[in-house]
Structure 1
């Protein structure tokens, strides 16, 4: 049975945010999306630990705190480090990919140019994470083990 996910979507481009929401609507997904414009704001959301997402989808190139800086902070937190983080970016730079996997990401997706390809990648990603086994932490929120 597929779960409804709580997704923290970190993206500074409003058009990209709208595209992601449009894809969810197109696919009839009822996932809850918490949006953040950059890594700094996302850390502020996560620090209060009232909202613990099931997965985090984020861009790399953002103001204030970029994706790699955000991931480093995330993976150094004892509770938050278990949240699967998936990169969704235009960068196919091998150095970026290596650095992100070294930090401990769950996946790396390069944004395709064609909208249909974007829809397919988002669909496959969310289908996987909505059937992946998650555990309940002490805050009664789902996180990856």
Structure 2
């Protein structure tokens, strides 16, 4: 795994996430987008696709649910594993994203050390199988 794509409208959360990735593995590349619409444009205009997408749910313009629905209908992108990275821990959100094709649901921790530990463990996962992972 070399390329991560984070879709999140909160710039502080983007920085927090990127700092954690840098600490875990400095060789990982991380691109970001502030909403689903921007993310789709970046994916369409990029020659190399990410290995994994982290997706926030609550964003302006195109939220996480809309992005997930849209990308799973595009043959070129529907094989990219997508996980939810959000403050929500609502069971309905977890089930809905699972049904839409997400591979994992990761509730954002507020503690940097906890984020690093959980990210490190998550990045070891094999996303080629059908298992759904919920990380709280």
Which TM-score band applies after superposition, normalised by the shorter structure?
A: 0.7 to 0.9
Task: State the alpha-carbon separation in 1 of the partners of residues 94 and 21 from structure 2.
Answer: 26
Task: State the alpha-carbon separation in 2 of the partners of residues 18 and 114 from structure 1.
Answer: 13
Task: State the alpha-carbon separation in 2 of the partners of residues 26 and 20 from structure 1.
Answer: 10
SS at match of 2:123: helix
1:44 to 6, 28, 41: 41
Task: State the alpha-carbon separation in 2 of the partners of residues 37 and 120 from structure 1.
Answer: 25
Q: Is the 8 A contact 1:12 1:38 kept in 2?
A: yes
Task: State the alpha-carbon separation in 1 of the partners of residues 48 and 70 from structure 2.
Answer: 17
1:18 to 8, 15, 18: 15
Q: CA deviation at 1:49?
A: 5.0
Q: Is the 8 A contact 1:10 1:38 kept in 2?
A: yes
Give unmatched runs, 5+ long, in structure 2. 129-136
- Counting matched residue pairs gives 128
TM score, norm. by length of structure 2 = 0.86
Give unmatched runs, 5+ long, in structure 1. 134-145
CA RMSD for the aligned pairs?
1.6
Q: Displaced runs of 4+ in structure 1, greater than 3 A? A: none
Task: State the alpha-carbon separation in 2 of the partners of residues 33 and 49 from structure 1.
Answer: 14
TM score, norm. by length of structure 1 = 0.81
Q: Is the 8 A contact 2:5 2:54 kept in 1?
A: yes
Q: CA deviation at 1:48?
A: 3.2
Tell whether 2:28 aligns with 1:31. yes
SS at match of 1:88: strand
